[in-house]
Amino acid sequence: MARFLGVFAIFLLSHLIAATPAIRRRLVALLGEVLFTICYSAMSLALFTWLIKSAQQAPYIELWPPQVWTYAITVALMPVAALLFGAGLLQPNPFSIAFVARPFDANKPGVVAITRHPLLWALGLWGLAHVPANGDLAAVIMFGGLGSFAMIGMWAVETRKRKMLGEAEWQRLAGPTSVLPFAALLGGRARWPTDRGTLVGSAVGLAVAVWLVFFGGHFWLVTRNPLAMF
């Protein structure tokens, strides 16, 4: 367990350090926004793979037994996370994490009409959705910690981006958006996105989710069957 906790601490600290405004500004100035994002993502993926392996090797300390309803929560929430991740991955977003440098069009916000933070919501939902189905201590720490980290990161990223844009520009761009997914759409402040990027990204995300759940992808990656209890 100590090794797993150490790896988890390294994972969190590496992200906290890289997200520190002064350090981030220096790295972006040195590498550029796009290259910084690529390097940051590669680091995150490598550390995440290490973390998963460490969690699998940690002692199994059961907090609650697996049950059908706990697995059902995970399976029900993951398509939403996959949709948001797929739609947000390759779209410009001045409010949150983005992997493309294209200009943002406020008249065609795409997935930003659903939420200002599609990628962070996807990661947060992924983590928290996996808690019910994984009732051992290491899994609860990992999934619960990562899900909470993404949700807290949402606030930190929004604060930083708001300062970068300035209050007037923030208010102009953020008016027809919301932090809570679908709130602006259901409240009539935004129109449902029909742009190609959102539709294609959502479809790809959902297709990956279907592959993971129904075609053995999840078992191939982590040797766990998400449908084992059904």
Q: What DSSP line would sit under 50-87, residue for residue? A: HHHHHHHHS---BSS---HHHHHHHHHHHHHHHHHHHH
- Res 34 pLDDT > 80: no
- Res 40 pLDDT > 90: no
For residues 125 and 147, the answer to whether their CB atoms sit within 8 Å is yes
Query: What pLDDT score was predicted for residue 41?
Result: 84
Residue 98's pLDDT band (cuts 50, 70, 90): confident
Please state, rounded to an integer, the average pLDDT across all residues of the chain.
92
Residue 206's pLDDT band (cuts 50, 70, 90): very high
Dmax over Cα atoms in the chain, in whole Å?
Answer: 52
**Single pTM value for the model:** 0.92
For residues 166 and 83, the answer to whether their CB atoms sit within 8 Å is no
| Rounded Cα–Cα distance for residues 28 and 107 (Å) | 28
Residue 85's pLDDT band (cuts 50, 70, 90): very high
What residues contact residue 29 under an 8 Å CB cut-off, 6+ apart? Answer: none
- Mean pLDDT over 128-137 rounds to 96
Q: What percent of the chain is predicted at pLDDT more than 70?
A: 100
**Per-domain boundaries in the chain:** 1-59, 63-222
